[in-house]
Structure 1
Amino acid sequence: MIELTAHDWQAIQLTLKLCLYTTLILLLLGTPLAWWLAQGQSRGQCRVRTAIQALVALPLVLPPTVLGFYLLLLLGPEGAVGGTLERLGFQHLAFSFPGILIGSVIYSLPFTVQPLLESFRRMGPRPLEVAQTLGAGKLDQLFSVVLPLCRGGFIVAATLTFAHTLGEFGVILMLGGSIPGETQVLSVLIYDHTEAMNYSQAHQLSLGLLIAAFVVLFIVYGLNKRFDRGPLT
């Protein structure tokens, strides 16, 4: 059996860090966005919501290398964001962990927003209307009504986002390259091992990634079914 090297463990730690940060950021950003998209409004506002929902879902059909390429142009030293940062005395974001984190957040956005959107739509407005008549404020409605009724949607959103980030490759490679300890996540390291014809090491990392992704999905979807039946006992 092949043992993992310090280089491999470094990539594993960086990957888990990227997955955790991406999931937390998207839950914070995706929840209000999904809630806004779930609200029914006038025809003009519905068109705006449809356009934004299409933008959110774009990474589902857009090749990752295309998204990575344009993010590289945007965040690199000649880009609008990267160039502005350099003029202000900061480092541009291409080939850095903050850069691949931005790419990961954008690329995984639909995997957070869509489950939350469907969960909010299934809940409907009635529970909040009842809570409001009982004197519950907005914050109270969030914690006492929305979160309990939509917890399955939050679990699915967090799980899909985390698992999807585990396997991100094209966006990361285009935007971050393969810098050990900075941008070389597991998927990129597997690619590097394969290019170097180190198939045994690539197989071991790939198998570990496959098993980890399956176990995470199995456990969380099992918990989700228990949540749907009621409180855990």
Structure 2
Amino acid sequence: MIETLSNIAFEPFLISFKLAIITTAILFVLSLPLAWYLAHTKSKMKPFFEALTSLPIVLPPSVIGFYILFALSQNSPIGTFFNDYFGIKLVFNFTGLIVASCFYSLPFMVQPLQSGFESINKNMIEASYICGKSKLATIIQVAIPSIKPSLMTAIIVTFAHTVGEFGVVLMVGGSIPGETKVASVAIYEFVEIMDYNSAHIYSGIMLIISFLVLLSVYIFNNKQKNAFI
């Protein structure tokens, strides 16, 4: 067992964690204004935007991966633009994984934040505006501190979901060692070559990580609830 552990390359986990950290950071910045808008808008288009945002939850990862691959390939306008002007290829590299992960994990960041913003007492928001605070200052100084459980849930679940991604990252990034070969892809390849011992170790690590992530969310949320009792 010890010999097997020493022979396993844990680089896929490092790539997975790096991808999850960057994706979570990007989505946090992008999702805050989107979640705020969805929580407070009275537009008739709100159901459309909510459905669009939630689409990655119900669409098969292979479908999302295919359309992202098609949209970012060097034959597409977007892929051609980034390749010609910035020398950046958006598929089969780590950059492509980030783009794909941001699309795929979007609802896991937006939905908890939106629920948190919707639960805030509107009088607090109005009082902030009356005191002369801008919308941005209200979000940062009033809204965000008031939704700590939702905020923590959004960040941790998005991180964990990104670590466990498979179909989307395989379609867009492939399996390039040291570049796009994440932990979930490594497990798939171990099973393909019937190296079940290595697959057990990788899967066990993923299982423990997933459980600890969920446990931390529930512990934090329970502490927050008890603090108001």
Q: How do 1:72-111 and structure 2 match up within 5 A?
A: 72-88=69-85, 90-111=87-108
Task: From 44, 57, 62, give the equivalent of 1:60.
Answer: 57
Structure 1 gap ranges (5+)? none
Query: Alpha-carbon deviation of 1:85?
Result: 2.3
Distance (Å, rounded) in 2 between the aligned partners of 1:96 and 1:111:
24
Structure 1 segments, 4+ long, off by >6 Å, are: none
Shift of 1:52: 1.4
Cα distance, 1:145 vs structure 2: 1.7
Structure 1 position 217, deviation (Å): 1.4
Matched, 1:223 2:217: no
TM-score (norm 1): 0.91
Change in Cα spacing, 1:134 to 1:228, as seen in structure 2 (3 Å) is farther
* Partner SS for 2:180: coil
Report the Cα distance in structure 1 between the residues aligned to 2:27 and 2:7, rounded to whole angstroms. Answer: 30
Who is 1:17 aligned against?
Answer: 18
Q: CA deviation at 1:87?
A: 3.0
SS at match of 2:83: helix
1:209 matched to 2:206: yes
Tell me the CA shift for residue 227 of structure 1.
2.4
Q: 1:89-168 counterparts in 2 under 5 A? A: 90-168=87-165
Counterpart residue number, 2:38: 37
The answer as to whether partners of 2:105 and 2:161 remain within 8 angstroms in 1 is: yes
For residue 134 of structure 1, report the CA deviation from its aligned partner: 3.6
Give me the whole-angstrom Cα distance separating, in 2, the residues matched to 1:19 and 1:4. 24
Matched length: 227
What is the distance in 1 between the residues matched to 2:132 and 2:80?
A: 51
- Of 44, 47, 55, the residue aligned with 1:46 is 44
Per the TM alignment, residue 230 of structure 1 is displaced from its structure 2 partner at its CA by 3.3
Q: Distance in 2 between matches of 1:138 and 1:227?
A: 26
Equivalent position amino acid for 1:144 in 2: Q
SS at match of 2:92: coil
Question: Does the 8 Å CA contact 2:34/2:110 hold for their aligned counterparts?
Answer: yes
The aligned counterpart of 1:180 is 177
Q: Deviations over 1:56-109 (max 9, x none)?
A: 100011110011011111111112211222333613211010101100010000
1:111 and 1:26 map into 2 onto residues whose CA distance is: 9
Shift of 1:113: 0.4
Q: In the aligned structure 2, how far is the partner of 1:28 from the partner of 1:6?
A: 39
User: Aligned residues: percent identity?
Assistant: 41
Offset of residue 5 of structure 1: 4.8
Question: What's the CA shift for 1:139?
Answer: 4.5
2:188 corresponds in structure 1 to: 191
Shift of the 157–180 alpha-carbon distance from structure 1 to 2, 3 Å rule, reads same
Partner Cα separation in structure 1 for residue 209 and residue 113 of structure 2: 24
Q: How far has the Cα of 1:171 moved from its partner?
A: 0.3
1:182 shift after superposition? 0.7
Matched position secondary structure for 2:107:
helix
**Structure 2: stretches of 5+ with no match in the other structure:** none
- Seen in structure 2, the aligned counterparts of structure 1 residues 139 and 54 have a Cα distance that, compared at 3 Å, is closer
Q: SS at 1:127's partner residue?
A: helix
The answer to which of 19-28 and 128-137 deviates more is 128-137
Q: CA deviation at 1:152?
A: 1.0
CA-atom RMSD, angstroms? 1.8
- CA deviations on 1:100-156 (whole Å, 9 max, x unpaired) are 110001000000001111111111422111233344444542343212211111111
Residues 179 and 229 of structure 1: is their aligned pair in 2 closer, same or farther, counting only changes over 3 Å?
same
Query: What is the SS of the residue equivalent to 2:139?
Result: helix
Partners of 2:19 and 2:51 in 1: CA distance: 25
